[in-house]
Amino acid sequence: MGLTGDREEALAIASQLEQRRRSAYCPAFPIAWVYIGLGDHDRAFEWLTRAHDDRDGWLCWLRSFWVTTPLRADPRFQALLRRMNFPETTKTDDGRYRAPRCSTLLAEQGPFPPTLSVDTDTRRAMKGQVARGSATNSETRNST
């Protein structure tokens, strides 16, 4: 609603979501969307921080979701990405913000993020399961 220019309706929606959140589950990330649309970046970051504290599943889209584009130049956005252990975005020559590609991250870090606490034996076992699982799946596909 904030993006359509209907500020009063957008504020009413934000108020309803905030009120609902007091008595039932309501993710914080959509409340942040409203404030992003209104251009109120301080309130948006307030709600994004709550979403992070709540471990809101919507945050997995933080880097790529078009709604967050107006926030990407703000240092608080990069700080939030760091707190979530996401790679930071960088501004390209054409003015867009990009994050490293998954293939680049895998080449640098391997399949497990450095913050994931998994011992070496568990890592080896998990890699073996993935390899066995893919072979099993291809055998299943070939037999049908």
Give the pLDDT of the chain (144 residues) as one tens digit per residue: 455 668 899 899 999 999 999 998 889 999 999 999 999 999 999 999 999 999 988 888 888 788 898 998 899 998 998 888 887 666 677 766 666 555 454 455 555 455 444 455 555 665 555 444 444 444 444 444
In a domain, 123, yes or no: no
pLDDT score of 95: 67
In a domain, 94, yes or no: no
The one-character DSSP state at 57 is: G
In a domain, 27, yes or no: yes
In a domain, 144, yes or no: no
In a domain, 44, yes or no: yes
pLDDT score of 60: 84
97 Cβ partners below 8 Å, 6+ apart? 69, 72, 73, 89, 90, 91
In a domain, 129, yes or no: no
Domain count, the chain: 1
Listed as own residue / partner, the contacts of 12-17 with beta carbons closer than 8 Å and 24 or more positions apart are 14/38
Give me the domain span that covers residue 42: 1-88
Please report which helix (H) or strand (E) contains residue 98, including its range: strand 97-98
Q: What percent helix, strand, coil does the chain show, rounded to 5?
A: 65, 5, 30
In a domain, 62, yes or no: yes
